[in-house]
Structure 1
Amino acid sequence: MFQHVVMTERELRELLGHPHERALQKDLGRLDEHARAFIARSPFLLLATAGADGRCDVSPKGDAPGFVRVLDEAHLAIPDRPGNKRLDGMTNLLANPHVGLIFLVPGKEDTLRVNGRACIVRDPALLASLEAMGKRPELAIGVEVEECYLHCPKAFRRSKLWEPATWSGARELPSMARVRWAQAPIPGQTLEDYERESEEGLRRTMY
């Protein structure tokens, strides 16, 4: 399918060059006061994992700003809110602890990147501190920070992600319920019933 494929780092560097020294220096390897402030205001992150076979997964995690708890400059905890129980990311962690996180703050073009090693935690005291809407999570993902730095805003400026005028695509796409219905309709159930049940299920299992 693809031709002229780049196969070595040497070839890649010849094409794109090397990073500026300041780009290398921005990784502090810890959560300083600026990283902590960013995480405290972030309602959303992306969690990247890979299994032992190298197959990757990226999972969205979100809640009220500050839902991720910073324990100290080297550790943070992410509550596991109810989901679809596929557990793709968590099963990856059981085989390969390396993770990559990107924290977002709505309206801010910079992002915070955190890389490290993670584990699945059942500690009752920690889980109690991550309670939301009166519900304690069953599990949390604990992360030991190895890299931490702010990422430049170019992708957000090019995409104009935070500009409402560019959001027309969302209105043009069908709901997930309609897509799933088109892919696998349920005999004896109408699309309207399926959409209503899907929305009710979301509200019922948020926490």
Structure 2
Amino acid sequence: MGTVTVVDTHEALTGIIGEVGEGAIRKDIGRIDPHARTLIENSPFVLLATSAPDGTCDVSPRGDPAGSVLVLDEKTLVIADRPGNHRVDNFRNIIDNPHVGLLFLVPGMNETLRVNGSAQLVSDGPFFDDLIVKDKRPQLAIVVTVDELYLHCAKAFLRSSLWKPETWPDRKSLPSAGRIFKDQLNIAADAEAIDADLTARSIAHQY
């Protein structure tokens, strides 16, 4: 990798980046206002970041029809759990360390909504019936108490052109999930067969 210069103090970081501007600090409103509620209710995809007591981290994608994340009040929101890979890394982390970070995405919108707070893993509550999608009631939900909330600027999405299909790679030029699993896990089955099985499982076990 060659020689690198490590930035390992706050002073060194400030010397490169400068002081944090007042505007960046003030944009944290610490609550779910009507605008934040609108973005949450129109977001079908949220990233959930957690960390274990030893500092190891996990980021989990969460997808549901827009409006599925419930806003209970200006400090509380609820995310239903849906079938996934069953690793439950983020659930174990929440039990041991409740601090979480959320990043809400709205398709076609370059700004994102960032939420930091504390979470509880719950198996029942008066709001569970409101989390039903396609007649399926979740077994678990994540209740998040909001500590920080702010709109994140559009620069990352503008630089990445994420929402512009003309910049996307040709999907055929990328390995399929079946090919990746076959090579990484040394699976004997054909990649095409693995892809077919993954597709069938995903469709059958969305909820």
Give the TM-score normalised by the residue count of structure 1: 0.95
Q: Which residue of 2 aligns with 1:57?
A: 58
Q: How much does 1:68 deviate?
A: 0.6
Question: What is aligned with 1:113?
Answer: 114
Alpha-carbon shift at residue 65 of structure 1 (Å): 0.7
Q: For residues 48-87 of structure 1, what are the structure 2 equivalents within 5 Å?
A: 48-87=49-88
1:98 Cα deviation from its structure 2 partner: 0.3
Q: What is the distance in 1 between the residues matched to 2:199 and 2:96?
A: 34
SS at match of 1:168: coil
How far residue 61 of structure 1 moved from its aligned partner, in angstroms, is: 0.3
Match of 2:206 in 1: 206
* 2:147 equivalent in structure 1: 146
CA–CA separation in structure 2 for the residues paired with 1:171 and 1:72:
45
Residue number in structure 2 paired with 1:100:
101
1:6-41 residue CA offsets vs partner (Å, 9 max, x unmatched): 111011001101122121111011000010000010
Secondary structure at the counterpart of residue 109 of structure 2: coil
Q: In structure 2, the residue corresponding to 1:12 is in which secondary structure?
A: helix
C-alpha displacement of 1:124: 4.1
Q: CA deviation at 1:47?
A: 0.4
Counterpart residue type for residue 122 of structure 2 = V
Conservation of the 8 A alpha-carbon contact between 2:178 and 2:192? no
| CA distance in structure 2 between the partners assigned to 1:10 and 1:33 by the alignment | 38
Amino acid in structure 1 at the alignment position of 2:57: C
Q: Is the 8 A contact 2:120 2:142 kept in 1?
A: yes
1:137 and 2:138 matched: yes
Q: Partners in 2 of 1:77 and 1:59 — Cα distance?
A: 15
The number of aligned residues is 206
**Cα distance between partner residues in 1 of 2:112 and 2:87:** 27
RMSD over aligned Cα, in angstroms? 1.3
1:119 deviates by: 0.7
Q: Is the 8 A contact 2:181 2:187 kept in 1?
A: no
1:194 is displaced (CA, Å) by: 2.1
In structure 1, the residue matched to 2:190 is: 190
In the other structure, the counterpart of 1:18 is: 19
Residue 197 of structure 1 aligns to which amino acid in structure 2?
D
- Moved >4 Å (runs of 4+): none
Letter in 2 for 1:22: G
Three-state SS of the structure 1 residue aligned to 2:127 is helix
**C-alpha distance in structure 2 between counterparts of 1:26 and 1:110, whole Å:** 13
The separation in 2 between residues aligned to 1:171 and 1:192, in whole angstroms, is: 13
- What CA deviation, in whole Å up to 9, does each residue of 1:35-65 have, x standing for no partner? 0000010000100000010000000001111
Shift of 1:185: 3.9
In structure 2, runs of 5+ residues without a counterpart are none
Instruction: Output the CA distance in 1 between the equivalents of 2:205 and 2:72.
Output: 27
Q: Which runs of 5+ in 1 are unaligned?
A: none
What corresponds to 1:37 in structure 2? 38
- Matches of 1:15 and 1:193, distance apart in 2: 51
